[in-house]
Amino acid sequence: MIRDPDAYPSVTPYKYLFTVFIPTYNRAELLVRALDSVAQQTFGDCEVLIVDDGSTDRTREAVAEWSKSTNLHVNYVWQENQGKPAAYNNALDKIHGYFTVPLDSDDQLVTRALEILKSAWEQIPVSERGGFAGVEGLCVKYPRMALLGERFPKSPLDANFIEVSFKHKRSGETRHALRTDVMKEYPFPVFSGEKHMRESVIWCRMAHRYRFRYINETIQILDQQPDSLSRKPFERRTSSPNSFRLAFREMANDHCRYCTFRQHYNYVVRYVRYSWLAKVGLRQQVRQIDNVGIWWLSLLQGSLEALWDRIRMSRHDAG
């Protein structure tokens, strides 16, 4: 039990320092590898929370077998298949760690990940920690362990997500430890019948109130599978048009402080594109975009992209 509210703001409800949260779907064998990486941590004050998004393989049995081999507290939760954002939201009232470390079931934590994250947090001045959402580090790609994306311009870097993405122009994968109380402030918006949402939605919303401490140390090893959602961007986006419409509307309206005109234009193009796919008409579109001039400029390209999407979708259905 953490007992220092100065070092760890809003600490009262939390039994562990870390919860490693693993959403999973039909990844029984890979899930065990991810779980092993948690058990091998050099810092052990953690629990494991697995939210199974409706798996039909032997995920439940694999978790039960693995749980017998560890002293870690393991909480397994099964839900009907609803997608990763719903799994994230489902986890919010089941986390007992001060920090939440999301871990995809096909990825692994480096052996010192929790130790590194704890050390980086404790180097933030105590008086400033209330304004930090957590600590974020780098990722490498399995099996070559090559860095995914760029290093941060300095380490540590104290900034919010929007500043890192647009002001510092840093691109590439990162992973983090996120204060659970902050995480609960920003659940994913979920639309009925849609399973996908850009994760940047909640990071951008969070950026208006909280910073992260960014460090040039590797936290996770990513191993994207051939059938992973990141390998199927067209199917993911066109199956969730309301979700992506919301994401690009918020980017255009709320998060473009450091955007170039081209970036702002592209966000509105995508807003128009997914508005058409979500069957949202012109009148509602124009009412919901702050910069009407850019909307007019973006209308043709966004409409053509939506038309091409529909052609591709019809071909896919016919095939």
Listed by start position, the domains of the chain span: 16-225, 232-318
As a whole number of angstroms, the distance between CA 212 and CA 220 comes to 17
Give the residue with greater pLDDT, 6 vs 237. 237
Residue 6 pLDDT exceeds 90: no
The amino acid occupying position 297 is L
Q: Would you place residue 17 in the very low, low, confident or very high pLDDT band (cuts 50, 70, 90)? A: very high
Res 4: pLDDT: 67
C-alpha to C-alpha distance for 273 and 285, rounded to whole angstroms: 11
Contact status, residue 140 vs residue 146, Cβ threshold 8 Å = yes
Residue 214 DSSP label: E
Identify the pLDDT of residue 2.
Answer: 55
State whether residue 10 is helix, strand or coil: coil
Q: What pLDDT sits at residue 309?
A: 96
Q: What is the mean pLDDT of residues 253-258?
A: 97
Following CA atoms 306, 202, 94, 11 in sequence, which dihedral angle do they give, to the nearest 10 degrees? 180
Q: Which two tokens stand for residue 266?
A: 């592209």
| pTM reported for the whole predicted model | 0.94
139: tokens are 């990722």
Q: What pLDDT shows up at residue 139?
A: 97
pLDDT for position 319: 64
Confidence at residue 196, expressed as pLDDT on a 0 to 100 scale: 96
Q: What are phi and psi of 34, to 5 degrees?
A: -60, -45
Amino acid at 91: A
- Give domain 16-225's CATH architecture: Alpha-Beta Complex (3.90)
Q: Identify each DSSP E strand in 125-277 by its residue range.
A: 132-141, 146-147, 157-159, 174-179, 211-222
Largest CA distance in the chain: 61
Residue 225: per-residue pLDDT: 80
Per-residue pLDDT at 315: 85
Q: Rounded distance, CA 257 to CA 121, Å? A: 28
Q: Is the pLDDT of residue 199 over 90?
A: yes
pLDDT score of 3 more than 60: no
Tens digits of per-residue pLDDT, 38-73?
A: 999 999 999 999 999 999 999 999 999 999 999 999
> 133-146, pLDDT tens digit by residue?
999 999 999 999 99
**In this predicted structure, what is the pLDDT of residue 205?**
98
229 pLDDT tier (thresholds 50, 70, 90):
low
Task: Give the pLDDT mean for 196-214.
Answer: 97
Average pLDDT over residues 283-294: 98
- Of 252, 245, 250, 256, the closest CA to residue 297 belongs to 252
Q: Which pLDDT tens digit goes with each residue over 82-120?
A: 999 999 999 999 999 999 999 999 999 999 999 999 999
- Provide mean pLDDT across the span 272-286: 98
Kindly state the average pLDDT of the residues 162-168.
96
Work out the pLDDT band at 183, boundaries 50, 70, 90. Answer: very high
